[in-house]
Amino acid sequence: MPRLKHDLEQQGLPATVRAEGDNVFIDYTPLATGTGYVAPAVMLEFGARSTGEPSEPRVIHCGAAAPYCERASDCCGA
């Protein structure tokens, strides 16, 4: 979790990280309000079903974020 917290702070993203058992949650400030059906959070699952793969850092690109970015290079490390 320290790496996630550091990266969120470094990027100036309005989000927090918390752990519950084998899960890590990233709670974020939504860009718009909706019906409340989907919570503004991402859950990362770890535990017995997790294989540990991939075992090296990988860049993840978020295609859904692109319309909200001023420049493509601002989005999720793109």
CA 28/CA 12 separation, integer angstroms: 12
How many CB atoms within 10 Å of residue 44? 14
The pTM of this model reads 0.60
Give residue-wise pLDDT tens across range 54-63: 677 777 777 7
pLDDT of 73 reads 55
Sequence-separated (6 or more) residues with CB below 8 Å from residue 21: 47
> Looking at the DSSP assignment, which residues form a beta bridge with residue 15?
28
Give residue-wise pLDDT tens across range 40-77: 999 988 776 656 666 777 777 777 766 666 655 555 55
pLDDT of 50 reads 59
Is the pLDDT higher at 25 or at 75?
A: 25
